[in-house]
Structure 1
């Protein structure tokens, strides 16, 4: 038996596919360095086993490799789990156990010497692929079992066909189109089956009894449930007890010392400048009533009512010296995103404020998995039409003195465990979720936040600039003329080669991200929009303000957003959440679509831009529009190549023969007969199975006496090489026949023989 037969290769592919099915379960939740190192170790050990096999001689020596290879590969995941935990990057034990299955299957496929061991490797890989698909929440997890089934069907059909060849060599003829035909039929059957049962089976509660530790929860209960029971709040709420998050009925701390978002901005970018001739709009208050609580409330209201783009150097505040945990909030969900708290739609050249009243206290209650969710009635329409794109994250409020709930873009609903009263939640004036009637969200409260993803196709469809009959709002009249002219110049440069509003907006944002510099140092940076456009250096609030103003010059409705940025490197796998710190306060902008939705734009360099995935259709159209000349050239080349395939393939075979002339006589004879058979296949005259080469060559060359004589000399020289001594005449016979029997010559001989 050959050490690397087709059976062995196909079994190895199935084992590698089983290992690949673990990637969606592990890659995005574990330390990527440890995961890559573990997979690289498995591949390296398998490659060493393959090299040792190929260099081994008898089958008895080869069989000794099976047990050591299986033990070494099987112990690799266990060893990595122990070492990773020692270094503070724990790997879930159930994931290590599943990886052991894949490693043992890979070891058996690599070092198997019998069909029984290969069959066992096949069974292990199939179990792992199906099990990983059954516990995964990814809707694309079904791809791995489908690929495994297709390769397995190919494997079984090929084995069955080989057995028929061995049983009836004279009656069975190979046909290259059989296996692809069976494969295509299987794809159609599997696709039709999945489509027919997707609505009947997909909504079942998979492994709800907790068969595996990672099997609990759902997209609506939490993304981090690990025990199969409950909603998984313990994954982010506490370390000692599952129910130790703050009750919403806790007492209010009127004399709060916790920082507001306004205080954090002052720490990062400085206090707002006080404008001259600006009358105090508050009623005078006696000294006896000026207590710290009122001062704190004034700051909170000022931070939520307006946002100034002109700042003075920040003072060093120390709000968290007495705290063991600096986190403002903790987030269990995708990182590299923004959590919004305040939104402003009106800009007077210096300050942002909120003019539109989007307040809604009556939210829509929907019970999902026996949990009460409260939806924005406007966004609920988009969520129901695109339910598959809904994602849920967990937010734990720690030290944020605000009644607002930090939420990602396109948030549609919120849920707090055991809270079913509708008056606990509402939509504030600027469209943000908040808890009415409270000074702040109680500390340690865990909030489930549901948001809807937006596709790039939707943005390109619904991002429409206002027509000439509807002029853009002039909300920046107080902006200096030099700043306005600089903004117009930026828009002209960015949109010179773009016509669609989405492309124009992306071009404007790209200029800010690539040609401007983020610098929060007040000594070196700008403190107003005019200075920012002149120096091209400033804080993120100036980047966001400029982006919003550029969007308005494109005819789009925009607004400013303040909140927090969840850094990509902030997720702690051991803790199960990402910590958001006071230094993570951030400012960005939003643009409105014509259907009422708001999408984020991130103009500040160094911050990850929001991801809007395009559909396959959009990718195809974009690729065709960008590379249609190459597509035409490629189509022409393929057409010419197909029409001239007999000629250039014949040339390639002639080149192979010329490079193979230095081979030994026996190898050269084999190469010559293989080249002749390949040329016969190209001309449609395949050698029948069971017919000897001599008889076949005589029948093939019967129509031409000269070529028939060369074929007889070739057959005689082949017999002499294998059964006698080699002379110069023998070495020239195969060269003569190969030079005479070209593809077109065989085609001509076939036509003459049939006529």
Structure 2
């Protein structure tokens, strides 16, 4: 029967780390309660199999490899199917645990070690999770600890007289291994291209093959073929399906009308409104007129929304599908001029010819003003995939700071361009063809860059609305940095505002009314945020597009469907280097993440917590200076509780207290010297201490070697009271003299 040993315990720990490395692979795409239940079941069986030898232990060991198979079968019938290759990996990990807990010899432990090592490295190599590398690093460090112990254990058996045990050897080896791994990681960083993982159908459920099962990663995220849910999807393939009829492809302007209402009619225009009550399809000519109107301006003054009736899509009502971070915004229109009611675009940012850059066989097209993105650190660039379904526009919805786009097998520069508002589009087309897959490269922005580049300018003209000016002065208060001021303005709107897309304003200036009530649609939140930014000297603009709602993420497909009710409005702020970053003032929507560097976080923490840091530093310094005093008192307090212990434990505590007091004054007991010899040598120059030491040692001998006599006289332990740190320090100095 397996018994507890160091090797067995360490093999179990390594196998558990390997099994845990599957969490980043399985947690995002599987039914969470089922997966957590499987983890709990494996853990319970591991504990049962590692317990005392019994029939329960043998049964638990046999059930461990079967558990992932059982849960996979249940998941296929009742919840989300689990991919076959993931089940195989889980069985492999559970088998490694079973060999570690149930193996009866070192060979089983060694086999468990090899199996867990393969699993943890393989799982990390195919995972896209940012922290997947933590598991192999932890496994390697524990393995170093294990191997070093095995090496010295063999030496100890072979040469017992020449091996000296030291507690610093194994931790030191682990620290050296950690340093080597860190240096190696920095040395190879950015020297390898991104791995293709399993996108070529290496396993049955890796997506895009004829032999895929229901658990395959279909949809965006599994390669260009899988994105279109076909084996060989072309970027501009013809689609003959009623799902993509023109009457179903609403424009962005239509979606805003459905969500927050149509713009109010201008008093100087007499335009007859057509009744839509009995119509199922919006006429193409009416939608085209609305598209032209929506592309040129965006109004903040709107009537109550009246929902248009569209045919329901039996498969997917999404406008686009997005494979990338959720909780972000995809911009389609931008406006930089505001007249009190309407937003329009005045500055011409158009580019007819984009910069072509070839990466291998792929042709990418970059904004000439953002060609620095080509030479950026790969960690600062993220690439997302977009598939157009029923977009109904020739504009491409892209994230903030997008610099380049790529469509497979498209290498003509005249296929892409940049509109006057800075948005990417496909010139010469009425809309982006359905099932078009677009790779989008955008830049990540840090809080450090924003703080460095965000500068208030006196040339920025305020909006001239008194309510906005008063609100900005009241919120900004005494904050100095423009970013802190901007964060305060955005925070006020998010904390005090109420999102109500159905709200209707009776005021001539809806923004003025909103500044007082802070209740309305996202277009009013975004407009107010942009105008508040101008009050503090920051250049701003309004952006319309889509919000990638986290709840829309499909765990099986690996992408997010963006629907018509995900239309959204937000604001962008200009940096001094010409880049624009977005802010999210509407409550209920995720704010953009601008991660600060470690140095900036430290500075901010010091600035916020300097009183506590000052007091803590002073307290730590005082504790270090007075360490002998308070540690001695702590030891005295521990000894004061000794009468509650049994005699043997009480004498052991007495010896432990004396040794720790000696360590404080630099008189550590030499390795190999007996405790009696050490104490007699320490107290040889003081007759009273020598007598107390003799009584203590004799009492210890009688207690441990004298049979059943457990009596300990109180006078036998008076050495603990006499031999405090001051006494030890004094007799040491006298002995030196």
User: Per the shorter chain, which TM-score range?
Assistant: 0.7 to 0.9
Aligned residues: 716
- The Cα of 1:561 is off from its aligned counterpart by 0.9
Secondary structure of 1:132's match? helix
The match for 1:442 among 409, 426, 433 is: 433
The match for 2:521 among 524, 528, 539 is: 539
Secondary structure of 1:588's match? strand
> Is 1:491 matched with 2:472?
yes
- The Cα of 1:114 is off from its aligned counterpart by 5.0
Task: Decide whether aligned partners of structure 1 residues 254 and 681 sit closer, same or farther in structure 2, where only a CA change above 3 A counts.
Answer: closer
The match for 1:676 among 637, 645, 658 is: 658
Secondary structure of 1:391's match? strand
Aligned equivalents of 1:265, 1:331: Cα separation in 2: 20
Aligned equivalents of 1:574, 1:187: Cα separation in 2: 37
Q: What does the per-residue CA deviation read over 1:566-589, in whole Å, with 9 as the maximum and x for residues that have no partner? A: 111101122332221111111111
- The Cα of 1:315 is off from its aligned counterpart by 1.7
- The Cα of 1:225 is off from its aligned counterpart by 10
Secondary structure of 2:599's match? helix
- The Cα of 1:404 is off from its aligned counterpart by 1.0
Secondary structure of 2:148's match? helix
Moved more, 540-549 or 83-92: 83-92
- The Cα of 1:188 is off from its aligned counterpart by 3.3
Structure 2: gaps spanning 5 or more residues? 209-214, 272-281
- The Cα of 1:137 is off from its aligned counterpart by 4.1
Structure 1 residue aligned with 2:232: 243
- The Cα of 1:445 is off from its aligned counterpart by 2.0
Given that 2:261 and 2:303 are in contact with CA atoms closer than 8 Å, whether structure 1 keeps it comes out as yes
Structure 2 residue aligned with 1:351: 342
Given that 1:402 and 1:439 are in contact with CA atoms closer than 8 Å, whether structure 2 keeps it comes out as yes
- The Cα of 1:641 is off from its aligned counterpart by 2.0
Structure 2 residue aligned with 1:633: 615
Q: What does the per-residue CA deviation read over 1:621-667, in whole Å, with 9 as the maximum and x for residues that have no partner? A: 11121112222222222222222223322322332233232222233
Q: What does the per-residue CA deviation read over 1:217-250, in whole Å, with 9 as the maximum and x for residues that have no partner? A: 9xxxxxx9979xx971233311xx2224662677
Task: Decide whether aligned partners of structure 1 residues 629 and 364 sit closer, same or farther in structure 2, where only a CA change above 3 A counts.
Answer: same
Structure 2 residue aligned with 1:509: 490
Given that 1:236 and 1:576 are in contact with CA atoms closer than 8 Å, whether structure 2 keeps it comes out as no
Aligned equivalents of 1:492, 1:340: Cα separation in 2: 30
Given that 2:83 and 2:205 are in contact with CA atoms closer than 8 Å, whether structure 1 keeps it comes out as no
Aligned equivalents of 1:109, 1:525: Cα separation in 2: 73
Aligned equivalents of 1:104, 1:512: Cα separation in 2: 55
Structure 2 residue aligned with 1:155: 146
The match for 1:339 among 330, 347, 366 is: 330
- The Cα of 1:106 is off from its aligned counterpart by 4.1
Aligned equivalents of 1:258, 1:727: Cα separation in 2: 95
> Is 1:456 matched with 2:447?
yes
The match for 1:519 among 500, 514, 521 is: 500
Q: What does the per-residue CA deviation read over 1:249-304, in whole Å, with 9 as the maximum and x for residues that have no partner? A: 77999965521111111111111001112488xxxxxxxxxx94433321111111
Structure 2 residue aligned with 1:296: 287
The match for 1:708 among 684, 690, 696 is: 690
Given that 1:345 and 1:355 are in contact with CA atoms closer than 8 Å, whether structure 2 keeps it comes out as yes
* TM score, norm. by length of structure 2: 0.88
Task: Decide whether aligned partners of structure 1 residues 110 and 461 sit closer, same or farther in structure 2, where only a CA change above 3 A counts.
Answer: farther
Aligned equivalents of 1:607, 1:251: Cα separation in 2: 37
Given that 1:262 and 1:299 are in contact with CA atoms closer than 8 Å, whether structure 2 keeps it comes out as yes
Structure 2 residue aligned with 1:221: none
Secondary structure of 1:648's match? helix
- The Cα of 1:133 is off from its aligned counterpart by 2.7
Structure 1 residue aligned with 2:460: 472
Given that 2:248 and 2:390 are in contact with CA atoms closer than 8 Å, whether structure 1 keeps it comes out as no
The match for 1:743 among 709, 725, 730 is: 725
* TM score, norm. by length of structure 1: 0.86
Task: Decide whether aligned partners of structure 1 residues 340 and 201 sit closer, same or farther in structure 2, where only a CA change above 3 A counts.
Answer: closer
Aligned equivalents of 1:614, 1:211: Cα separation in 2: 39
Structure 2 residue aligned with 1:328: 319
Structure 2 residue aligned with 1:719: 701
Structure 1: gaps spanning 5 or more residues? 218-223, 281-290, 478-483
Given that 1:541 and 1:586 are in contact with CA atoms closer than 8 Å, whether structure 2 keeps it comes out as yes
Structure 1 residue aligned with 2:278: none
Structure 2 residue aligned with 1:393: 384
Given that 1:173 and 1:689 are in contact with CA atoms closer than 8 Å, whether structure 2 keeps it comes out as no
Aligned equivalents of 1:74, 1:175: Cα separation in 2: 39
Superposition RMSD on alpha carbons, in Å?
3.4
Given that 1:720 and 1:726 are in contact with CA atoms closer than 8 Å, whether structure 2 keeps it comes out as no
Task: Decide whether aligned partners of structure 1 residues 673 and 589 sit closer, same or farther in structure 2, where only a CA change above 3 A counts.
Answer: same
Q: What does the per-residue CA deviation read over 1:367-392, in whole Å, with 9 as the maximum and x for residues that have no partner? A: 33422222222223134223322222
